[in-house]
Copies of this chain bind each other. A is one copy, B any other.
Amino acid sequence: MDFKFLQELIVPAQTKIVMIIMDGLGGLPLEPGGKTELETAHTPNLDALAARSALGLTLPVGPGITPGSGPGHLGIFGYDPIQYEIGRGALEALGVDFELGPDDVAARGNFCSVDAAGVLTDRRAGRIPTDMNKELAKLLRTINIDGVEFFVETVKEHRFAFVMRGYGLADALTETDPQKTGVLPLPVCALKPDSEKAARLVNQFVEQARRLLAAYTPKHPANMILLRGFAKFPTVPTYPELFGLCAAAIAVNGMYRGVARLVGMNVLKVDGDTIADEFTTLEKNWNDFDFFYLHVKKTDTAGEAGDFSLKVRVIEEVDALMPRLTALKPDVVIVSGDHSSPALLKSHSWHPVPTLLYSKYVRADGIAEFGERACARGSLGVLPAKDVMPIALANAQRIAKFGA
């Protein structure tokens, strides 16, 4: 079902959809026969909502594929993450909450060390302190070539996001990082004719950066830079144009705010950084949007840290906040994740993600439990994550009949 088909059926409505994404929600039992994090958590509110919902398991990218956060979010947002790939450079810029424009070319940057002959001796410049990175980034931001703007945004230690903003820049560029020491950094080459301008500018920037870093005092090991993963922000049809939704994003971390911005959501300011603060933001902005995406980061952080019981507690924290959501009387509620992050694996994983879809018009499964095995018995079955949004829109009475 392509977007054009769906788009033509979209009709306006006064309904509101809320999508709660617990990052890395899906889990695994620690012992064979045991319970997952979500199954272990005491979640009376989610269980009660589950009883009135359709349940299922979503595949963010495809069977067996472990998604990064970018593809995982694009999937649950309704997009095919293979078709709309977010390049590594663009992800790095999103991660520092940089507002990438459609013509910007972004890259991942490293401060590195070279010897007197320019030969690479340390690809990470001894992992310089973040503060030193910030100081050097400020220095590099002074570079301006032919009216093109360059942004250098500290990530941490030796890492930074690089963004080039100007007219006629394309991202089909080779990388300067040779991925090993004992050799010279590589020049950037254009892989397509339309990237020649960008290639020339990057090479000039790197040369100026080299001179500035070498001359800068006090003495520091970061006397050169490496750039890789050049990428523009992909162009995706946005929520307003695709779904007719005036959408808002409530997320604390830059990466998620960036992906939400990519799909045309209004990224709201959250006062504070707790999950409760995010729910407060939801309440405050309730009247102004049709769709809310609310992102909970700590489930994933706990999963990646291998902290089963912390992940359980974060899920319970979200559960305890659910009455504040239901009090708003949303028409459609989706509770899901962008991927699984089982504490057992201490990483993202390929396992399908437990998903709940509530509305007054959903054909409820009557399963009063929100968990992986409960969702496996649900009527949504195992479905591509991108199919959730059309079902949510239908339940929000925002899709007209097809054919007579």
- Partner-B contacts on A (CB < 8 A): 1, 5, 9, 26, 28-29, 32-33, 36, 51-52, 57, 61-72, 81-82, 85-86, 88, 91-92, 344-345, 347-352, 361, 363-366, 372-373, 376-383, 387-395, 399-404
Contacts and interface: CB of A to CB of B under 8 A. Distances in A.
A365 B29 CA distance: 11
Contacts of A72: 403
A63 B376 contact: no
B361 A81 contact: no
Question: At the interface, is chain A mostly helix, strand, loop or mixed?
Answer: loop
A65 B373 contact: no
Contacts of A387: 62-64
A289 to B, nearest CB: 20
B28 A65 contact: no
A364 to B, nearest CB: 7
26 contacts: A1-B61, A1-B63, A5-B82, A29-B364, A32-B52, A33-B364, A61-B402, A63-B387, A63-B390, A64-B389, A64-B390, A64-B399, A65-B390, A65-B394, A65-B402, A67-B403, A68-B403, A81-B402, A344-B361, A349-B361, A349-B394, A351-B363, A352-B363, A372-B379, A381-B381, A381-B382
Q: Nearest 7 CB-CB pairs, A to B? A: A64-B390, A68-B403, A376-B379, A64-B394, A381-B382, A350-B394, A1-B62
B403 A70 contact: yes
B70 A404 contact: yes
Given A399-B66, A400-B66, A345 B361 contact: yes
Given A28-B361, A402-B67, A57 B391 contact: no
A392 B71 contact: no
A393 B64 contact: yes
A205 B9 CA distance: 33
A399 B32 contact: no
A379 B57 contact: yes
Contacts of A372: 363, 379
A331 to B, nearest CB: 14
A345 B344 CA distance: 45
A8 to B, nearest CB: 11
B81 A403 contact: yes
B391 A64 contact: yes
A73 to B, nearest CB: 10
Given A63-B391, A391-B64, A403-B86, A377 B380 contact: no
Contact of A376 (B85, B378, B393, B404): B378
A284 to B, nearest CB: 29
Contacts of A402: 61, 65-68, 71, 81
Contacts of A395: 64
Contacts of A351: 363
Contacts of A88: 404
A348 B64 contact: no
Contacts of A345: 361
A229 B139 CA distance: 65
Contacts of A373: 365-366, 379
